[in-house]
Amino acid sequence: MDNVLIIGAGAAGSVTAQKCAMNRDVFKKVHLASRRIESCEKVAKQCKTKIDISQVDADNVAATVKLLKKVKPDLVINMALPYQDLPIMDACLEAGVHYMDTANYEPRDEAKFTYKYQWPYHKKYKDKGLMAILGCGFDPGQSNIYCAYAQEFLFDEIDTIDIIDCNDGSHGKSFATNFNPEINLREVTQRGKYWKDGKWIEIDPLTISAMIDYPEVGPRKSYLIYHEEEESLVKNIKGLKQIRFWMTFSDNYIKHLDVLQSVGMTRIDPVMYKGNPVIPMEFLKELLPPPSSLGKGYTGKTSIGVIFRGRKNGKAKTTMIYNVCHHEQAYKETGAQAVSYTTGVPPVVGAMMLFKGAWTPPGGQKGGVFNVEQLPSKPFMDEIGKQGLPWHVKDIKISDQKELFAVKT
């Protein structure tokens, strides 16, 4: 296998295409497709080696199948919007192509993360001997693989997992989102949720917060939100008692979000304007700076990791695995800021794992739908640092994250 098709030429998709084009020993053929051919042309100019490009409407299964039969890729990396996961999965099934994405399917009319739409594809993919690899970005993605690595190599038992995500950067805009504005705002405004003692507990949006000490950044106010990797990790990390996801938002971000919500600009249901239905969130997206425009002049860094509490050899153990990515370095290499970079690099490494045979269906199956933590973690961990996202393991004391662990949920 050496032929990859990337669908989606946004900020993260651009990183994925560029990194594939830098690794020609693995990716002999690289093809990029998007709804707007102009976006593909722009990315192609940024690539170090030549890639092919096409226009495709990924919502149109027949059109995508036609492209797949023309390109004949071994794998589709879906870097499009989460709304398009199912059409692209259907197209891959029909054309007999492996599938990978970085975010789970989300209906346009409901802001709710869930794998309930994609997991049922397991038998269809298995019967065709194809793999569908879900959630191979950073979080979900690299964070899940940190969990798999911790379960296999660092702990005998894992009791709690806290996924922590900080963007300590400055883009100089009064308000902007670091990835697709529509997806970002839907994520933040939905109800929070965490898993404890075998059940899901919901909370109002952004009502639980804590000061978390992020590596190379320091203490930052972080909010408990729901994130999709929690849904698969509770199935695949044995003996887990609690999992939570935390993300930083600046006071300026929260201020703008409060105003936008209060005037109805984050609504995802249509409103009538001059006799035409308009979805406020989609209109707002057009007003905000595109994430691909934020890289130049972006300063600071992201600090993303996972904190585990459990036992090894009968002794209590608290450990963090994390990555720090600098916006300036990401921009220098790919013209993208670090949030796009950390999302766009992991699927390249995941594709390498598939092409090199390091990721095969677990349990001797011929194919199926799998989350990344179900696949071998060590080969991925060995490669991801070489591709620009080095990771670190650090044993910590409870007092190092005193406020985080003091939050009773």
pLDDT at 334 over 80: yes
pLDDT at position 140 over 80: yes
Q: What percent of the chain has pLDDT over 90?
A: 80
User: In Å, what is the CA distance from 382 to each residue of 28, 33, 69?
Assistant: 22, 30, 34
Spatial separation of the C-alpha atoms in residues 61 and 179, rounded to whole Å: 25
Give CA–CA dist 57/64, Å, rounded: 7
Instruction: Note the pLDDT of residue 111.
Output: 65
Structure tokens at 213: 């000490």
pTM of the complete model:
0.92
Average pLDDT over residues 323-328: 97
Map tokens 């029909």 to a residue: 94
State residue 179's pLDDT score: 62
Mean residue pLDDT of the chain comes to 94
Q: Is the domain defined by 3-138+341-384 classed in CATH 3.40.50.720?
A: yes
Question: For 161-180, what is each residue's pLDDT tens digit?
Answer: 999 999 998 887 767 776 66
The residue ranges of every structural domain in the chain are: 3-138+341-384, 142-336+390-406
Record: fold of 142-336+390-406: Dihydrodipicolinate Reductase; domain 2 (3.30.360)
Which long-range contacts (C-beta less than 8 Å, at least 24 apart) are formed by 41-50? 42/9, 42/14, 43/9, 43/13, 43/14, 43/17, 43/18, 44/17, 46/14, 46/18, 46/334, 46/335, 47/17, 47/18, 47/21, 48/18, 48/21, 48/22, 49/21, 49/22, 49/24, 50/21
Reference 85, options 67, 70, 100; nearest CA is 100
For residue 289, what are its two tokens? 């700076």
**pLDDT-derived band at 113, boundaries 50, 70, 90:** confident
290 in Cβ contact with 322 (< 8 Å): no
Give burial (CB, 10 Å; 0-12/13-18/19+) of 175.
middle
Cα 64 from Cα 86, distance rounded (Å): 12
